[in-house]
Copies of this chain bind each other. A is one copy, B any other.
């Protein structure tokens, strides 16, 4: 399944080797290997960082990382007006709200351990509220037609 992007690259290999392209003269097979190795490393690191099973802090750490990624995706989506798809965007807003709220709750359970958790919870709650406001506004826009 991984090969779809590789097939695209294959398909373009001729253009990639044309003199005008910045990829001219580069070894495409080697680049494919490099992409696979980097992706494998990305995944192993993400996995490794979250793997301290049973550890008391593992859950809150994992949830914070998920929220960081979801919020980054949400932010980028909002910055691409041309690519907006209202229905999908509202589903993403809902996912962001739920993730942020759950993470805020989890962080608050560790509030005594460190002030970081309290502050992170606060940022998450504000993010959830901002997404709620945005969703309400989009819903009323859509229903007004």
Residue numbers of A with Cβ under 8 A of B are: 1-5, 7-9, 11-12, 15-16, 21-23, 25-27, 30-31, 33-55, 57-88, 91-92, 94-96, 98-100, 102-103, 106-107, 114-117, 119-120, 122-124, 126-127, 129-131, 133-134, 137-138, 141, 144
Contact = CB atoms under 8 A, between A and B. Distances in A.
Contacts of A34: 74, 78, 130-131, 133-134
A92 B85 contact: no
Q: Is the interface of A mostly helix, strand, loop or mixed?
A: helix
23 contacts: A5-B46, A7-B119, A8-B44, A8-B120, A12-B53, A22-B59, A26-B141, A27-B134, A30-B134, A37-B131, A39-B39, A40-B127, A42-B68, A43-B68, A46-B65, A55-B82, A62-B84, A63-B85, A66-B88, A69-B73, A69-B77, A91-B94, A92-B95
B68 A83 contact: no
A116 B81 contact: no
A81 B62 contact: yes
Contacts of A114: 51-52
Given A68-B45, A81-B50, A98 B103 contact: no
B107 A80 contact: no
A129 to B, nearest CB: 7
Given A12-B53, A39-B75, A41-B100, A64 B88 contact: no
